[in-house]
Structure 1
Amino acid sequence: MKILKLEEGSINKESAVIKVLPEDKEDLFALYQIIDEEDELIFKKKFTSKKDEDSKKNTDLVLLKVQVVSSEFDINDEFLRYKGKTVADETGRANAEVPVGKFISFTVNYSYPFTIIKQTFDKHSRKLLNEACNPEAKSDGAAVVLQEGIAHVCLLTPSSTILKQKIEYSLPKKKRGTDVMKYDEKTEKFYKAIYAAMKKYYDFNTVKMIILCSPGFYAKTLMDKVLEYAREERNSAILNNKSRFLVAHCSTGYLQGIGEVLKDPAYAASLSDTKYSKEATVMDDFLKHLNDDDYKAWYGDTEVFKAAELGAISNLLITDEKLHTGNVKERKVYLDVMDTVERNGGSVFTFSTLHETGEELDKLTGIACILKYPLPDLDEDIADFD
């Protein structure tokens, strides 16, 4: 994402005016988290007006300023749209031809910059904006999860697991000699289709890790085939980066298999650089403590706040939904808790609800923690704790 202008404190000491140009779907996700209801947007949009002289409709590119009312977002379709109502512009440049209070929708795209006016530009929003401008934060990894006759080619990003292509082939049973030939022919087409999809969607020079996972030996066979096809084509991007491939075992050829690999301690060292892997490991650790009932895992606002005040939190787990709440006072409470945990030597992990782990955490109130030491009575006297 390109920041074309950033002015802090021009409206009040917590405000910011940010002019941005998004460049990819990860930028859209960052903007979706940064822009809140009641923030204001200034953008150019084609607007149709009717002239009184000849009653003909004219379409002009006009400058509009709206206050956000609602948003729609789909990361797979790269779609981010805001609905808002026009507000007065003190400069007189925006809304010159549009009355105040008119509802207008605005779809964010990669061609035209627009301006965000935030009354409260907090630490979380600043961090999201900085990460969006850091290209290394965008391409954590990629994964192909497969089993006989089916494969899912995915990208792993800080925001979600994105399914780029699903490949399905009906493979014949190997009963007679002719069936074996048909099976081998279909299998070859299956692996070549996966290879073609990987070349289409993966940048082998920048992606940190490419996971090939499956039950049985399908992932190992795919690795051999990828290298074979790359040598035939003299594809240096793959051959020079073959150390970035990780062949792993999972129980299914569907997307759940990727989560299994990311949580598996056997692959932890290889995946240590990927943000999604760290979050998956922490979530798995939390659930293990919860299942063991060893008083080191707690969830819920009151329990977590109390543990933070005691300086007992090792890892704080919180969803982006908690930090994207429209209630500014409530959001500040969560940001203060995050600061408290970090000051006391703990780590904070923000989970996207577009990820499986984030969805799981969201069902457990959206906030949880792993303690440095057991606190069996943390939920006692909750009514007296402010």
Structure 2
Amino acid sequence: MQILHRDVSGKDGSGSVKLMVEQTDDLWHLYNLIVQGDSVRTTTERKVHKELASGATDSQRMKLNLTVTVDKLDFDAEAGELRLSGRNTEENPFVKLGAFHTLDLQLHRTIVVTKLQWDALALARLADAADAAKDADVAVLVLQPGVAHLCLITPSLTLTRAKVIVPIPRKGRRGDGGAQRAYDKFHEALLQAVLRHVDFSRVSALLVGSPGFGADDFLAYVWAQAAKRDDARALFAHRAKMVRCRASCGFRHAVREVLSDPETAAQLSSTRAAGEVAAFDAFLAMLGRNIDRAIYGYAHVRAACDHGALNTLLLSDSLFRAQSIAVRRQYVALVEDAQQAGAAVSLFSAMHPAGEQLAQLSGVAAVLRFPLADLLLAESAAERAGAADGSTASADLAAGAVDAAMAAGELSSDDDGEGPRVLPGAGILEGDMRFGSDVWAGSDAGPF
């Protein structure tokens, strides 16, 4: 993404940015940057009706520059398309003021995005999208007998480029004619998928994972074919980029296993996906080792931040696409407060395996510098719930629920090994959000 012009000024951070979209990842960044209420100006096509002298009407498609106030966004990762709709806000001889229009944001076109407030997270994502050094993509091929998925791991997305299914006979040995022909057909389909979808001038590695010796058999087939076929001969030049890994199966969810394999960590250390997996694995490790220092849910994480206990904050980027401005601002404030306290902040892409898992834990989690008692967390959650609506009624209600839980023996500050609890008030601020789930490096923090 190229930033052609930037005019963000004023104490409120209002202004506009003119940019050029260069690749699919840029559309993903725009999907996270643009929110309901923003204005977007770009070139689009629209069918225009004209009345002829005879009274008949004629229609033709024309290219127009339109500015719309965004009402709805839709991103299709596989097709690489971003659509947004809203009302036209500028005079145009062909489109009435206030008329609805849908814009298809396309590659290699200029776009002007205007916001009432460019917060710290939006500016950080804009800078990240314009960083050309981030393009360290990885291709992952996971396979098992007869089933395989080829995925491209970009800085922000996990794209399934090919799905291969070939029936493999269950009876008979591998050397039998029927079974061997089936395996050759399967391996040839995989080879064609790699040749068609993997651009070795861009990817830093092709990770091939499987249970057993499936990956070894496929790589042996690749080198045998490369030695005698012109279309595959170029693969010899990229042999060092093809890495054998471990995977439990040939389905898409095994991609995360491949990315977290210690043997591939060195080659992936510079990629966005590896950073996400490492940060989330560290959270899971702490959750299993010391449950009092790994928490999730907005209310608990906010309470821990208020007490200066955050060491690492993990957030899903889908939280910042909530329609409610108040909800978006509370997460921006959480990030800014965590940074000021010296915590590392990791912003996870909803289209990456680790981000999908974080989404199942409410989209926000944290590793703490020191444990906080359950009762302290519950009381802080109750206080913030009351502050959310400007009264003490919610706080009194939540606090009463805490007292009742204590009296019933359901809540204790001691670690009983039962895992994290959903405490009273923990979800009060989260009802207006779409949960789903790139590592945005915050301030450096010490080891936990």
TM-score calculated relative to the size of structure 1? 0.88
Please give the per-residue CA displacement for 1:54-98, whole angstroms capped at 9, x wherever unaligned. 3322433333221111111111012211110112x3xxxx42332
Structure 1 residues 1-386: aligned runs within 5 Å = 1-9=1-9, 13-44=12-43, 45-51=45-51, 53=53, 54-59=55-60, 60-87=62-89, 89=90, 94-173=91-170, 175=172, 180-233=176-229, 238-292=235-289, 294-377=291-374, 378-382=376-380, 383-384=382-383
Code of the residue aligned with 1:224 in structure 2: it is: A
Question: After superposition, what is the alpha-carbon deviation per residue over 1:83-123, rounded to whole angstroms, capped at 9, x for unaligned?
Answer: 10112x3xxxx423322221111111125323222222222
Deviating more after overlay: 66-75 vs 48-57: 48-57
**Any conservation in 2 of the 1:174–1:180 contact (CA below 8 Å)?**
no
- C-alpha distance in structure 1 between counterparts of 2:113 and 2:346, whole Å: 26
Distance 1:268 1:101 in 2: 53
Query: Secondary structure at 1:116's aligned position in 2?
Result: strand
Matches of 1:166 and 1:70, distance apart in 2:
31
Kept in 2, the 8 Å contact 1:12–1:119? The answer is no
Query: Which one-letter code corresponds to 1:82 in the other structure?
Result: L
Distance between the aligned counterparts of 1:51 and 1:2, measured in 2?
Answer: 41
Q: Does the Cα contact within 8 Å between 1:314 and 1:346 map onto a contact in 2? A: yes
Does the CA contact (< 8 Å) of 1:47 and 1:61 recur in 2? no
Deviation at 1:231?
Answer: 3.7
111 and 346 in structure 1: CA distance in 2 versus 1, 3 angstrom threshold: closer
Matched residues in 2 for 1:135 and 1:312: separation? 35
Structure 1: runs of 5+ lacking an equivalent: none
Residue type of the partner of 1:187?
A: Y
Matched residue SS, 1:3:
strand
* Cα distance in 2 between the residues matched to 1:184 and 1:244: 27
Report if the CA contact (8 A) 1:215-1:251 is conserved. yes
Q: Deviations over 1:20-69 (max 9, x none)?
A: 33222211111111111111122333341232643322433333221111
Report how far residue 196 of structure 1 moved. 1.7
Instruction: Find the aligned partners of 1:221 and 1:3 in 2 and give their Cα distance.
Output: 46
Quote the RMSD (CA, aligned, Å): 2.6
2:51 partner amino acid:
K
**Equivalent in the alignment of 2:427:** none
Which deviates more from structure 2 when the two are superposed, residues 338-347 or residues 294-303? 338-347
* In 1, Cα distance between equivalents of 2:21 and 2:34: 13
Identity of aligned residues (%): 28
Q: Is the 8 A contact 1:152 1:255 kept in 2?
A: yes
Q: Is this contact kept in 2: 1:205–1:237, CA < 8 A? A: no
- Give the letter for the 1:300 counterpart: G
CA drift at 1:329: 4.1
Show structure 2 runs of 5+ residues with no match.
Answer: 388-448
TM (norm. structure 2) is: 0.77
Runs of 4 or more off by more than 4 Å in structure 1?
A: 233-237
- Which string of whole-angstrom CA distances, capped at 9 and with x for unpartnered residues, describes residues 317-368 of structure 1? 1011122234444333322322333344332111122233323322322211
SS of match in other structure, 1:171: coil
